[in-house]
Protein backbone atom coordinates (compact mmCIF):
# COMPACT_ATOMS: atom_id res chain seq x y z
CA UNK A 1 0.00 0.00 0.00
CA UNK A 2 1.23 3.46 -0.82
CA UNK A 3 2.47 5.20 2.32
CA UNK A 4 0.75 8.55 2.60
CA UNK A 5 1.63 10.67 5.63
CA UNK A 6 -0.88 12.98 7.27
CA UNK A 7 -0.11 16.05 9.30
CA UNK A 8 -1.41 19.50 10.20
CA UNK A 9 0.10 22.90 9.53
CA UNK A 10 -0.59 25.62 12.05
CA UNK A 11 0.95 29.01 12.60
CA UNK A 12 1.30 30.74 15.92
CA UNK A 13 0.00 34.28 16.08
CA UNK A 14 2.64 36.90 16.80
CA UNK A 15 1.56 39.02 19.73
CA UNK A 16 1.98 42.78 20.01
CA UNK A 17 3.33 44.32 23.16
CA UNK A 18 2.64 47.54 25.01
CA UNK A 19 5.62 49.81 25.59
CA UNK A 20 9.31 49.20 24.93
CA UNK A 21 10.87 47.67 21.87
CA UNK A 22 9.09 44.46 20.84
CA UNK A 23 10.84 41.24 20.03
CA UNK A 24 10.91 40.51 16.31
CA UNK A 25 8.36 37.88 15.32
CA UNK A 26 8.00 36.37 11.90
CA UNK A 27 4.58 36.86 10.36
CA UNK A 28 2.93 34.79 7.68
CA UNK A 29 -0.20 35.48 5.63
CA UNK A 30 -2.16 33.22 3.32
CA UNK A 31 -1.80 35.17 0.10
CA UNK A 32 -3.85 32.66 -1.90
CA UNK A 33 -5.99 29.58 -1.31
CA UNK A 34 -7.31 27.40 -4.10
CA UNK A 35 -9.75 24.50 -3.82
CA UNK A 36 -10.73 21.74 -6.21
CA UNK A 37 -7.84 19.46 -5.24
CA UNK A 38 -8.17 15.94 -3.88
CA UNK A 39 -5.13 14.94 -1.85
CA UNK A 40 -2.51 17.41 -3.16
CA UNK A 41 0.33 15.18 -2.04
CA UNK A 42 3.34 17.09 -3.37
CA UNK A 43 4.19 20.67 -4.33
CA UNK A 44 7.32 22.03 -6.00
CA UNK A 45 7.93 25.76 -6.47
CA UNK A 46 9.95 27.29 -9.30
CA UNK A 47 11.78 30.32 -7.87
CA UNK A 48 12.44 31.64 -11.37
CA UNK A 49 8.83 32.73 -11.84
CA UNK A 50 7.25 31.85 -8.48
CA UNK A 51 4.96 29.23 -10.01
CA UNK A 52 4.20 25.89 -8.37
CA UNK A 53 3.59 22.35 -9.63
CA UNK A 54 1.17 20.11 -7.70
CA UNK A 55 0.72 16.34 -7.64
CA UNK A 56 -3.07 16.09 -7.20
CA UNK A 57 -3.00 12.44 -6.15
CA UNK A 58 -6.65 11.35 -5.92
CA UNK A 59 -7.68 13.46 -8.91
CA UNK A 60 -4.96 11.65 -10.91
CA UNK A 61 -3.76 14.98 -12.21
CA UNK A 62 -0.74 17.27 -12.22
CA UNK A 63 -1.41 21.02 -11.94
CA UNK A 64 0.76 24.04 -12.68
CA UNK A 65 -0.15 27.23 -10.80
CA UNK A 66 1.11 30.77 -11.32
CA UNK A 67 2.52 32.74 -8.39
CA UNK A 68 -0.89 34.35 -7.81
CA UNK A 69 -2.66 30.97 -7.91
CA UNK A 70 -4.00 31.22 -11.47
CA UNK A 71 -4.07 27.83 -13.16
CA UNK A 72 -1.52 27.65 -15.96
CA UNK A 73 -2.08 24.00 -16.83
CA UNK A 74 -3.88 20.93 -15.53
CA UNK A 75 -3.20 17.52 -16.99
CA UNK A 76 -5.04 14.25 -16.47
CA UNK A 77 -4.16 10.73 -17.51
CA UNK A 78 -2.00 10.11 -14.45
CA UNK A 79 -2.60 7.36 -11.91
CA UNK A 80 -1.67 8.36 -8.37
CA UNK A 81 1.03 11.01 -8.92
CA UNK A 82 2.99 11.08 -5.65
CA UNK A 83 5.85 13.54 -6.18
CA UNK A 84 6.75 16.46 -8.44
CA UNK A 85 10.06 18.26 -8.89
CA UNK A 86 10.53 21.30 -11.12
CA UNK A 87 13.69 22.03 -13.11
CA UNK A 88 14.42 25.71 -12.52
CA UNK A 89 16.64 25.86 -15.60
CA UNK A 90 13.90 25.19 -18.17
CA UNK A 91 10.62 25.08 -16.18
CA UNK A 92 10.02 21.41 -16.90
CA UNK A 93 8.72 19.05 -14.23
CA UNK A 94 9.40 15.44 -13.30
CA UNK A 95 6.58 13.34 -11.82
CA UNK A 96 6.76 10.15 -9.77
CA UNK A 97 3.54 8.45 -10.87
CA UNK A 98 3.53 5.83 -8.12
CA UNK A 99 0.31 3.95 -8.80
CA UNK A 100 1.12 3.68 -12.51
CA UNK A 101 4.69 2.53 -11.81
CA UNK A 102 6.38 5.10 -13.95
CA UNK A 103 8.27 8.40 -13.97
CA UNK A 104 7.16 11.13 -16.38
CA UNK A 105 9.05 14.18 -17.61
CA UNK A 106 6.79 17.11 -18.58
CA UNK A 107 7.72 20.24 -20.49
CA UNK A 108 7.01 23.67 -19.02
CA UNK A 109 3.73 23.76 -20.94
CA UNK A 110 2.68 20.29 -19.71
CA UNK A 111 3.61 18.31 -22.82
CA UNK A 112 5.11 14.87 -22.16
CA UNK A 113 8.81 14.69 -22.97
CA UNK A 114 9.55 11.21 -21.65
CA UNK A 115 8.11 8.37 -19.55
CA UNK A 116 9.73 5.25 -18.13
CA UNK A 117 8.73 2.17 -16.13
CA UNK A 118 9.54 1.79 -12.41
CA UNK A 119 8.10 -0.10 -9.46
CA UNK A 120 6.18 2.37 -7.28
CA UNK A 121 8.48 5.37 -7.54
CA UNK A 122 7.86 7.63 -4.52
CA UNK A 123 10.16 10.62 -4.91
CA UNK A 124 11.90 12.62 -7.66
CA UNK A 125 14.49 15.39 -7.39
CA UNK A 126 15.86 17.36 -10.36
CA UNK A 127 19.36 18.78 -10.78
CA UNK A 128 19.06 22.07 -12.74
CA UNK A 129 22.74 21.93 -13.73
CA UNK A 130 22.22 19.13 -16.24
CA UNK A 131 18.49 18.42 -16.09
CA UNK A 132 19.07 14.96 -14.64
CA UNK A 133 16.68 13.45 -12.11
CA UNK A 134 17.12 11.19 -9.09
CA UNK A 135 14.33 8.68 -8.32
CA UNK A 136 13.47 6.39 -5.44
CA UNK A 137 12.34 3.18 -7.12
CA UNK A 138 10.81 2.11 -3.84
CA UNK A 139 9.39 -1.35 -4.47
CA UNK A 140 12.59 -2.32 -6.30
CA UNK A 141 14.57 -1.12 -3.25
CA UNK A 142 16.75 1.00 -5.51
CA UNK A 143 17.79 4.57 -6.21
CA UNK A 144 18.10 5.62 -9.86
CA UNK A 145 19.84 8.53 -11.58
CA UNK A 146 18.33 9.52 -14.96
CA UNK A 147 19.69 11.84 -17.64
CA UNK A 148 17.50 14.68 -18.89
CA UNK A 149 16.39 12.52 -21.83
CA UNK A 150 15.48 9.62 -19.52
CA UNK A 151 18.58 7.52 -20.14
CA UNK A 152 19.73 5.64 -17.05
CA UNK A 153 23.00 7.04 -15.72
CA UNK A 154 23.19 4.84 -12.63
CA UNK A 155 21.09 2.39 -10.64
CA UNK A 156 21.93 1.21 -7.15
CA UNK A 157 21.95 -2.35 -5.94
CA UNK A 158 18.73 -3.51 -4.38
CA UNK A 159 18.05 -5.01 -0.97
CA UNK A 160 19.83 -4.92 1.45
CA UNK A 161 21.80 -1.92 0.10
CA UNK A 162 18.51 -0.02 0.09
CA UNK A 163 15.25 -1.08 1.70
CA UNK A 164 12.24 0.99 0.58
CA UNK A 165 14.11 4.25 -0.08
CA UNK A 166 11.58 7.03 0.40
CA UNK A 167 12.93 10.46 -0.53
CA UNK A 168 15.75 11.98 -2.60
CA UNK A 169 17.10 15.54 -2.56
CA UNK A 170 19.80 16.60 -5.02
CA UNK A 171 22.50 19.17 -4.27
CA UNK A 172 23.26 21.18 -7.44
CA UNK A 173 26.46 22.55 -5.90
CA UNK A 174 28.29 19.22 -6.16
CA UNK A 175 25.61 17.15 -7.96
CA UNK A 176 25.38 14.75 -5.03
CA UNK A 177 22.13 13.34 -3.67
CA UNK A 178 20.77 12.63 -0.18
CA UNK A 179 18.45 9.65 0.35
CA UNK A 180 16.26 8.45 3.21
CA UNK A 181 16.58 4.66 3.29
CA UNK A 182 13.50 4.31 5.47
CA UNK A 183 13.29 0.61 6.31
CA UNK A 184 17.05 0.42 6.87
CA UNK A 185 16.59 3.36 9.26
CA UNK A 186 19.41 5.24 7.56
CA UNK A 187 20.25 8.44 5.72
CA UNK A 188 22.64 8.09 2.78
CA UNK A 189 24.72 10.63 0.87
CA UNK A 190 25.60 9.63 -2.72
CA UNK A 191 28.03 11.18 -5.19
CA UNK A 192 26.93 12.07 -8.72
CA UNK A 193 28.15 8.69 -9.98
CA UNK A 194 26.33 6.83 -7.20
CA UNK A 195 29.38 6.23 -5.01
CA UNK A 196 28.50 6.26 -1.34
CA UNK A 197 29.94 9.33 0.39
CA UNK A 198 28.38 8.67 3.78
CA UNK A 199 25.82 6.42 5.40
CA UNK A 200 24.41 6.92 8.87
CA UNK A 201 24.14 4.28 11.52
CA UNK A 202 20.80 2.52 11.66
CA UNK A 203 18.29 2.32 14.49
CA UNK A 204 18.19 4.05 16.94
CA UNK A 205 20.34 6.78 15.34
CA UNK A 206 17.54 7.17 12.80
CA UNK A 207 14.12 5.55 12.92
CA UNK A 208 12.20 5.46 9.62
CA UNK A 209 13.46 8.82 8.36
CA UNK A 210 11.03 10.15 5.77
CA UNK A 211 12.02 13.36 4.01
CA UNK A 212 15.35 15.05 3.36
CA UNK A 213 16.03 18.51 1.98
CA UNK A 214 19.52 19.71 1.07
CA UNK A 215 20.81 23.28 1.34
CA UNK A 216 22.88 23.96 -1.78
CA UNK A 217 24.63 26.93 -0.15
CA UNK A 218 26.49 24.93 2.50
CA UNK A 219 25.63 21.38 1.34
CA UNK A 220 24.04 20.58 4.69
CA UNK A 221 20.92 18.45 4.88
CA UNK A 222 17.78 18.53 7.03
CA UNK A 223 16.10 15.25 7.91
CA UNK A 224 12.59 14.44 9.10
CA UNK A 225 13.44 11.57 11.46
CA UNK A 226 9.85 10.46 11.79
CA UNK A 227 10.17 7.45 14.07
CA UNK A 228 12.38 9.38 16.50
CA UNK A 229 10.00 12.36 16.50
CA UNK A 230 12.65 14.92 15.65
CA UNK A 231 14.25 17.16 13.04
CA UNK A 232 17.97 16.68 12.44
CA UNK A 233 20.39 19.04 10.69
CA UNK A 234 23.45 17.33 9.19
CA UNK A 235 26.64 18.77 7.74
CA UNK A 236 27.74 17.63 4.28
CA UNK A 237 30.05 15.16 6.02
CA UNK A 238 27.13 13.66 7.95
CA UNK A 239 28.15 15.26 11.25
CA UNK A 240 25.09 16.20 13.28
CA UNK A 241 24.84 19.98 13.65
CA UNK A 242 21.59 20.22 15.55
CA UNK A 243 18.42 18.33 16.47
CA UNK A 244 15.10 19.00 18.13
CA UNK A 245 12.33 16.68 19.24
CA UNK A 246 8.99 17.91 17.94
CA UNK A 247 6.48 15.08 17.85
CA UNK A 248 5.91 12.95 14.76
CA UNK A 249 8.01 14.90 12.25
CA UNK A 250 7.14 14.11 8.65
CA UNK A 251 8.47 16.65 6.17
CA UNK A 252 11.23 19.26 5.79
CA UNK A 253 11.86 21.92 3.13
CA UNK A 254 14.95 24.15 3.15
CA UNK A 255 15.25 27.78 2.08
CA UNK A 256 18.74 27.91 0.58
CA UNK A 257 18.77 31.71 0.67
CA UNK A 258 19.03 31.87 4.47
CA UNK A 259 19.51 28.23 5.47
CA UNK A 260 16.20 28.10 7.33
CA UNK A 261 13.89 25.12 7.23
CA UNK A 262 10.16 24.41 7.45
CA UNK A 263 9.22 21.22 9.30
CA UNK A 264 5.76 19.70 9.60
CA UNK A 265 4.55 17.27 12.23
CA UNK A 266 1.48 15.42 13.55
CA UNK A 267 0.54 14.62 17.12
CA UNK A 268 -1.49 11.49 16.44
CA UNK A 269 -4.91 12.78 17.51
CA UNK A 270 -5.89 14.94 14.56
CA UNK A 271 -3.69 17.89 15.48
CA UNK A 272 -0.27 18.99 14.40
CA UNK A 273 1.97 21.92 13.57
CA UNK A 274 4.54 23.39 11.24
CA UNK A 275 7.54 25.31 12.47
CA UNK A 276 10.08 27.51 10.76
CA UNK A 277 13.65 27.18 12.01
CA UNK A 278 16.75 29.26 11.42
CA UNK A 279 19.82 27.30 10.38
CA UNK A 280 21.04 27.27 14.00
CA UNK A 281 17.76 25.84 15.29
CA UNK A 282 16.17 29.07 16.53
CA UNK A 283 12.45 28.80 16.00
CA UNK A 284 10.56 31.42 13.99
CA UNK A 285 6.80 31.55 14.30
CA UNK A 286 4.20 32.39 11.68
CA UNK A 287 1.88 35.35 11.87
CA UNK A 288 -1.72 36.38 11.98
CA UNK A 289 -4.26 35.34 9.37
CA UNK A 290 -3.08 31.79 8.55
CA UNK A 291 -5.91 29.61 9.76
CA UNK A 292 -8.13 26.77 8.61
CA UNK A 293 -5.48 24.34 7.38
CA UNK A 294 -6.15 20.64 7.92
CA UNK A 295 -3.72 17.80 7.19
CA UNK A 296 -1.33 19.74 4.95
CA UNK A 297 0.78 17.07 3.29
CA UNK A 298 3.61 18.92 1.62
CA UNK A 299 5.53 22.18 1.64
CA UNK A 300 7.92 23.78 -0.83
CA UNK A 301 9.83 26.99 -0.07
CA UNK A 302 10.69 29.67 -2.62
CA UNK A 303 14.15 31.02 -1.70
CA UNK A 304 13.68 34.24 -3.68
CA UNK A 305 10.96 35.59 -1.38
CA UNK A 306 10.76 33.08 1.48
CA UNK A 307 7.17 32.16 0.63
CA UNK A 308 5.92 28.62 1.06
CA UNK A 309 3.40 26.51 -0.87
CA UNK A 310 1.36 23.97 1.10
CA UNK A 311 -0.69 21.01 -0.07
CA UNK A 312 -3.64 21.08 2.37
CA UNK A 313 -5.09 17.59 2.00
CA UNK A 314 -7.90 17.81 4.55
CA UNK A 315 -9.42 20.87 2.89
CA UNK A 316 -8.70 19.78 -0.68
CA UNK A 317 -6.77 22.95 -1.34
CA UNK A 318 -3.36 24.41 -2.07
CA UNK A 319 -2.28 27.44 -0.03
CA UNK A 320 0.44 29.97 -0.77
CA UNK A 321 1.93 31.40 2.43
CA UNK A 322 3.93 34.61 2.30
CA UNK A 323 6.43 35.57 4.98
CA UNK A 324 6.02 39.31 5.48
CA UNK A 325 8.49 41.61 7.14
CA UNK A 326 8.52 41.19 10.93
CA UNK A 327 6.21 44.00 12.00
CA UNK A 328 4.82 44.95 15.40
CA UNK A 329 2.63 47.81 16.55
CA UNK A 330 3.20 48.87 20.15
CA UNK A 331 3.31 51.74 22.65
CA UNK A 332 -0.24 52.69 21.66
CA UNK A 333 -2.49 55.13 23.49
CA UNK A 334 -4.99 57.99 23.22
CA UNK A 335 -4.50 61.26 25.10
CA UNK A 336 -6.19 62.73 26.97
CA UNK A 337 -8.15 59.70 28.15
CA UNK A 338 -11.19 61.90 28.87
CA UNK A 339 -12.36 65.41 28.13
CA UNK A 340 -15.06 67.69 26.81
CA UNK A 341 -16.40 67.39 23.30
CA UNK A 342 -14.28 70.28 22.05
CA UNK A 343 -11.05 68.64 23.30
CA UNK A 344 -8.43 67.61 20.76
CA UNK A 345 -7.83 63.89 21.25
CA UNK A 346 -4.66 62.32 19.85
CA UNK A 347 -4.06 58.65 19.07
CA UNK A 348 -0.51 57.39 18.70
CA UNK A 349 1.13 54.05 17.91
CA UNK A 350 4.71 52.98 17.22
CA UNK A 351 5.43 50.96 14.08
CA UNK A 352 8.44 48.60 14.13
CA UNK A 353 9.86 46.71 11.15
CA UNK A 354 13.04 44.70 11.63
CA UNK A 355 13.74 44.87 7.87
CA UNK A 356 13.48 48.69 8.04
CA UNK A 357 10.62 48.69 5.52
CA UNK A 358 7.94 51.42 5.60
CA UNK A 359 4.27 50.45 5.92
CA UNK A 360 1.81 50.83 3.10
CA UNK A 361 -0.44 52.49 5.65
CA UNK A 362 -0.99 52.76 9.40
CA UNK A 363 -4.63 53.16 10.46
CA UNK A 364 -6.64 53.79 13.60
CA UNK A 365 -10.20 52.51 14.01
CA UNK A 366 -12.37 54.57 16.36
CA UNK A 367 -15.61 53.13 17.74
CA UNK A 368 -18.37 55.76 17.93
CA UNK A 369 -20.87 54.75 20.64
CA UNK A 370 -23.60 57.03 19.31
CA UNK A 371 -23.36 55.46 15.84
CA UNK A 372 -22.60 51.95 17.12
CA UNK A 373 -19.91 51.46 14.51
CA UNK A 374 -16.22 52.17 13.91
CA UNK A 375 -14.47 54.28 11.28
CA UNK A 376 -10.90 53.86 9.99
CA UNK A 377 -8.60 56.89 9.70
CA UNK A 378 -5.14 57.17 8.15
CA UNK A 379 -2.32 58.05 10.52
CA UNK A 380 0.82 60.03 9.73
CA UNK A 381 4.38 59.98 11.10
CA UNK A 382 4.78 62.27 14.09
CA UNK A 383 8.27 63.17 12.83
CA UNK A 384 8.26 62.82 9.01
CA UNK A 385 12.04 62.95 8.82
CA UNK A 386 12.35 59.78 10.92
CA UNK A 387 12.60 56.86 8.51
CA UNK A 388 14.28 54.47 10.94
CA UNK A 389 11.51 51.89 10.89
CA UNK A 390 13.83 49.33 12.42
CA UNK A 391 14.17 51.58 15.46
CA UNK A 392 10.46 52.44 15.47
CA UNK A 393 8.43 55.30 13.99
CA UNK A 394 5.54 56.95 15.85
CA UNK A 395 2.31 57.50 13.89
CA UNK A 396 -0.37 59.91 15.05
CA UNK A 397 -3.94 61.01 14.37
CA UNK A 398 -5.90 63.84 16.05
CA UNK A 399 -9.61 64.69 16.16
CA UNK A 400 -11.88 67.03 18.09
CA UNK A 401 -15.61 67.78 18.44
CA UNK A 402 -16.51 64.23 19.43
CA UNK A 403 -20.08 63.65 20.68
CA UNK A 404 -20.32 62.56 24.34
CA UNK A 405 -19.88 58.87 25.05
CA UNK A 406 -17.37 56.09 25.80
CA UNK A 407 -15.16 55.44 22.74
CA UNK A 408 -12.78 52.60 21.87
CA UNK A 409 -9.92 52.25 19.40
CA UNK A 410 -7.50 49.85 17.72
CA UNK A 411 -4.67 50.12 15.18
CA UNK A 412 -3.65 48.23 12.04
CA UNK A 413 -0.74 48.33 9.61
CA UNK A 414 -0.60 47.04 6.09
CA UNK A 415 2.01 46.97 3.37
CA UNK A 416 2.14 46.57 -0.39
CA UNK A 417 3.62 43.10 -0.99
CA UNK A 418 3.90 42.94 -4.77
CA UNK A 419 1.04 40.71 -5.93
CA UNK A 420 -0.42 40.16 -2.44
CA UNK A 421 -3.76 42.02 -2.02
CA UNK A 422 -3.26 45.36 -0.32
CA UNK A 423 -6.22 44.86 1.97
CA UNK A 424 -4.46 42.05 3.83
CA UNK A 425 -3.70 43.45 7.27
CA UNK A 426 -0.84 41.75 9.03
CA UNK A 427 -0.10 43.78 12.17
CA UNK A 428 -2.57 44.89 14.84
CA UNK A 429 -2.72 46.57 18.23
CA UNK A 430 -4.29 45.27 20.34
CA UNK A 431 -3.85 41.74 19.06
CA UNK A 432 -5.69 39.71 17.85
CA UNK A 433 -7.47 41.59 15.10
CA UNK A 434 -10.86 42.88 16.21
CA UNK A 435 -9.76 43.68 19.76
CA UNK A 436 -10.34 47.22 21.04
CA UNK A 437 -8.94 49.31 23.89
CA UNK A 438 -11.30 51.62 25.76
CA UNK A 439 -10.96 55.40 25.39
CA UNK A 440 -11.43 58.23 25.34
CA UNK A 441 -14.47 59.13 27.44
CA UNK A 442 -16.11 62.31 26.16
CA UNK A 443 -18.41 64.41 28.34
CA UNK A 444 -20.10 67.79 28.19
CA UNK A 445 -21.84 69.52 25.30
51 has which bridge partners? 46
Going from N- to C-terminal start, the domains of the chain cover 27-324, 327-443
Q: Determine the Cα–Cα distance for residues 302 and 287; give it in Å rounded to an integer.
A: 18
What's the pLDDT at 14? Answer: 25
pTM of the model: 0.77
Q: Looking at the predicted structure, is the pLDDT value of residue 191 above 70?
A: yes
Decide if domain 27-324 falls under CATH 2.120.10.30: yes
Q: What are phi and psi of 228, to 5 degrees?
A: -95, 5
What's the pLDDT at 274? Answer: 62
CATH fold match for the domains 27-324 and 327-443: no
| Closest to 441 in 3D by CA, of 410, 411, 402 | 402
pLDDT band at 106 (very low <50, low <70, confident <90, very high): very high
pLDDT band at 10 (very low <50, low <70, confident <90, very high): very low
Q: Looking at the predicted structure, is the pLDDT value of residue 314 above 90?
A: no
Over the stretch 270-312, which tens digit does the pLDDT of each residue have? Answer: 555 667 777 777 666 443 335 566 777 788 999 988 888 988 8
Q: How would you label 375-402 residue by residue, b for 16+ Cβ within 10 Å and e otherwise?
A: eeeebebeeeeeeebeebbebebeeeeb
Q: What are phi and psi of 174, to 5 degrees?
A: -125, 5
Choose between 411 and 280: higher pLDDT.
411
Decide if domain 327-443 falls under CATH 3.90.1150.10: no
Instruction: Give the distance from CA 167 to its chain's centroid.
Output: 19
Q: Looking at the predicted structure, is the pLDDT value of residue 205 above 90?
A: yes
Largest Cα separation within the chain, whole Å, is 90
Q: What percent of the chain is predicted at pLDDT more than 90? A: 67
| Closest to 235 in 3D by CA, of 223, 224, 221, 217 | 221
Amino acid sequence: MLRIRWFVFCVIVASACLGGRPAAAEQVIAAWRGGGFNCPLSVSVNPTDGSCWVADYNNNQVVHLAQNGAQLWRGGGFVGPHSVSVNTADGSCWVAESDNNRVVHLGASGNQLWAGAFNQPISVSVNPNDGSCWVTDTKNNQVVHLAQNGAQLWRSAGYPTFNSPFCVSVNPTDNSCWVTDSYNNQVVHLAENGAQLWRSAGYPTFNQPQFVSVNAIDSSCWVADTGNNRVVHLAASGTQLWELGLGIVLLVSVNAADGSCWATMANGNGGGAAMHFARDGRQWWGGEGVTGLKYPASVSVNPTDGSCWVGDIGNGQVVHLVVVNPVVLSSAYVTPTSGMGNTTFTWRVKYWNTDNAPPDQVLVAIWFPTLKRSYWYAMWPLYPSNVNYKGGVVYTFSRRWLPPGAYAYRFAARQALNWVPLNVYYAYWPSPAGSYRSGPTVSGP
